[in-house]
Amino acid sequence: MRESPPLVVLILGGAAERWDCPADESPLALANPRHLDRLAREGRVFGVQLVESEAEAYSAAPLLAILGYDPETVETARASYYAALHEEALAGEECFCSATFLTLFRNLVADVDPGPLRSAETAVLVRDADAAMRRAGFRLLRGAGARHLAVAPRASVDPETAAPPLLLGRAVEEFAPRIAQHAFAHRLAKEALDGHEVNEVRRDLGGNGADAVWLWGPGGAPALPAGRWEFPVSALGTDLLLRGICKAAGITMRVPNARTPTGLLRGLGQALKRDRVTVLYARRGVRDALMRERKLRAEGIADLDRHLVGPVARMVKSAGARLLVLADTARDSRQGHALSDPVPALLWGAGVEALTHRPFTEAGAAGAGEALAPGHGLLAYVRHL
């Protein structure tokens, strides 16, 4: 059997939005992305079912599925893959859980991704929150920005605690953990950060603060099947979850510190010379705090289309490769909540025949028929077309 062309998988994080959003008013439709529109005309658009439930959509399941792992057979907690970056070991009956900074306004959750936080600010906030939370048996490990890692006895963690996006605009008390030690850890962290000098300075300068730590999504040690890859594969991007999955899977991160399209493109140039599959993860240019503003999200997608999609497509064509573009999860247009809906996917490049033209939008993908399922078959599917 002939070897398939090299494949570049470009994941546009958070690009898909539906539910209470007319098809012609989704961010993808409003963005009018020139490069994505051209690729859609020349390639094929379809849908892929990455997750089976909304709970899975908040976990590592979407990225694991894109990489070909069946979420039902591996650990899916985001915290487990953050832990892979720390190389933190669990003792006895401990577990990992995600620890997310929240911004509060009169005890309502105003932001689940406060920042951007400078490295020195993060270090001080994590240090002081950790010192307080240890009284409840939780210890806090520094991650990046608003996303960190906690370790605690599994019996002390409520596994049903809501994911942070579900809290936006609501009082934190509405979602209090049912296990006393877990609720105690939340209270201790809030007391340590409420009125913290770092937060007060940030507010004086017009920023927001990290007023609480939200502990959620418990999981065990990451364990992905060994010897999964029969061909060279690499990944590019700064996303902590992707980096953690790659560490656990033995996938090379070519430029883990690339924070600009230029850095990603430089890394892609190297990867195309060496690897059969390269995964790029990029988020739109609009922060999650603004996710309910469809026009702002559309502007972010348009920026990615200009500065990343177009240049990536040119490099893929020059290398005689293929390009797969897709979103990681679908989202509720009103609240920003993750959904279990299929996401649009676009395949373009060497040997890919154009089908009936459908735009790279939610409606375009739905028009292609039943979504590809299960989602973890996506990589094998596109490599053997």
Residue 379 and residue 248 share a domain: yes
What was the pLDDT predicted at 185?
98
Residue labelled with tokens 């300075």? 201
Residue 378 and residue 233 share a domain: yes
SS3 for the chain is CCCCCCEEEEEEECCEEECCCCHHHCHHHHHCCHHHHHHHHHCEEEEECCCCCHHHHCCCHHHHHHCCCCCCCCCCCHHHHHHHHHCCCCCCCEEEEEEEEEEEECCEEEECCCCCCCHHHHHHHHHHHHHHHHHHCCEEEEEECCEEEEEEEHHHCCCCCCCHHHHECCEHHHHCCCCHHHHHHHHHHHHHHCCCHHHHHHHHCCCCCCCEEEEEEEECCCCCCCCCCCCCEEEECCCHHHHHHHHHHCCEEEECCCCCHHHHHHHHHHHHHHCCEEEEEEECCCCHHHCCCHHHHHHHHHHHHHHHHHHHHHHHHHCCCEEEEEECCEEECCCCCEECCCEEEEEEECCCCCCCCCCCCHHHHHCCCCCECCHHHHHHHHHCC
Give one word for 83, left, alpha or beta, with left for phi > 0 and alpha for psi -120 to 50.
alpha
Full residue range of the structural domain in which residue 260 is found: 7-74+224-383
Residue 117 and residue 51 share a domain: no
Residue 230 and residue 376 share a domain: yes
What's the CATH number where 288 sits?
3.40.720.10
Residue 283 and residue 142 share a domain: no
Residue 324 and residue 287 share a domain: yes
What was the pLDDT predicted at 288?
45
The residue from 189, 219, 249 where one domain ends is 219
Q: Is residue 320 part of a domain?
A: yes
Q: Is residue 333 part of a domain?
A: yes
Residue 328 and residue 263 share a domain: yes
Q: Is residue 241 part of a domain?
A: yes
Q: Is residue 2 part of a domain?
A: no
What was the pLDDT predicted at 291?
53
> Please, which residues have CB within 8 angstroms of residue 318's CB and are 6 or more apart in sequence?
none
Q: Is residue 1 part of a domain?
A: no
Q: Is residue 50 part of a domain?
A: yes
Residue 119 and residue 92 share a domain: yes
Q: Is residue 48 part of a domain?
A: yes
Residue 304 and residue 346 share a domain: yes
The residue from 154, 186, 219 where one domain ends is 219
Residue 317 and residue 301 share a domain: yes
What was the pLDDT predicted at 211?
96
Residue 312 and residue 188 share a domain: no
- Give the chain's domain count: 2
The residue from 197, 219, 241 where one domain ends is 219
Residue 376 and residue 234 share a domain: yes
Measure the CA–CA gap between 80 and 241, rounded to whole angstroms: 9
pTM for this prediction = 0.93
Q: Is residue 273 part of a domain?
A: yes
Q: Is 137 exposed, middle or buried (0-12, 13-18, 19+ CB in 10 A)?
A: middle
What was the pLDDT predicted at 208?
92
Per run of 10 residues, the mean pLDDT along the chain (length 385 residues) is 84 84 82 94 96 95 96 95 90 95 93 90 97 98 93 97 94 95 98 96 93 97 80 89 92 72 87 94 60 77 92 97 96 83 96 89 92 95 89
Residue labelled with tokens 């293929």? 322
Cβ atoms of residues 252 and 302 within 8 Å: no
Measure the CA–CA gap between 285 and 303, rounded to whole angstroms: 7
